[in-house]
Structure 1
Amino acid sequence: MPLEHIHDQLRLRHPKRSFVQYRIDRPGFITPIGHHLSTAMRYTCLVRSLSSAGAMLSVNKTLTLPENFYLEIQGVRDGIPCTEFKREGEELVVRFNMFLDPDFLNAVLGRQPDTHAL
């Protein structure tokens, strides 16, 4: 899968981190970061898959985006800062500017938090 390119690079630097890729096929929005960090425009996308390090999106192939933007996944309150990693036609692979917190990732996936007693 396309996110594997990102994961291969990151596994060497973060061997204990999980880079499991989850297929979610959920609607989302791309919000470009403009002059003075303005966010006036929003574009629709489909979030195909997601990991703690990045995501694969389907976007309009004619859409021109800056290198950095926010990804909003429908049903999730917070935007995720992203950087474009690779683009081919309608397929856009993005890397998150920081790893997703496991609890946040579980919330996006619709999972209950892991609450094991010590």
Structure 2
Amino acid sequence: MPLDHMHEQLHLRHPKRSFVQYRLDRPGFITPIGHHLSTALRYTCLIRSISSAGAVLSINKTLTLPENFYLEIHGIRDEIPCTEYKRDGEELVVRFNMFLDVDFLNMVLGRQGETHDA
């Protein structure tokens, strides 16, 4: 999986945190961060998988994005600040600029009330 290498590096720096990658296949939106932090454009994507540290997205391979942008998961109004980690054609691997809270990740995964170490 594309996030494995990134997760190995993060696990070495944060040994008490879990970086389990969950299959999501849910639509989302990418909002590029422009000049003076403007966010005028918004692009659709498919969030293939997600963890507390990052995600794998499917996007239009001709789309040019800045290194930093916001990711919004369809149905959840919170925007997640992201940085591009790796891109190969339509597959974009991003890391989140801060780890997702375990409760937020469970809400994204539709697992309300479950508690897991993350």
Please confirm whether the aligned pair reaches a TM-score higher than 0.5, indicating the same fold.
yes
Quote the sequence identity (%). Answer: 83
Q: Which residue of 1 aligns with 2:19?
A: 19
Q: Distance in 2 between matches of 1:73 and 1:4?
A: 22
Q: Which residue of 1 aligns with 2:97?
A: 97
- Bigger Rg over Cα: 1
Deviations 1:32-85 (A, max 9, x none): 001111100000100000000000000000000000000001111101000000
For normalisation by structure 2, the TM-score amounts to 0.95
Q: Which residue of 2 aligns with 1:47?
A: 47
Q: Which stretches in structure 1 are left out of the alignment for 5+ residues?
A: none
Structure 1 stretches of at least 4 aligned residues deviating more than 3 Å after TM superposition: none
> Root-mean-square deviation (CA), in Å?
0.9
Q: Which residue of 2 aligns with 1:64?
A: 64
3-state SS, counterpart of residue 112 of structure 2: coil
Shift of 1:114: 3.6
Q: Distance in 2 between matches of 1:86 and 1:32?
A: 16
3-state SS, counterpart of residue 100 of structure 1: coil
3-state SS, counterpart of residue 40 of structure 1: coil
Deviations 1:1-27 (A, max 9, x none): 111121011010001101010001000
Q: Which residue of 1 aligns with 2:34?
A: 34
How many pairs align?
A: 115
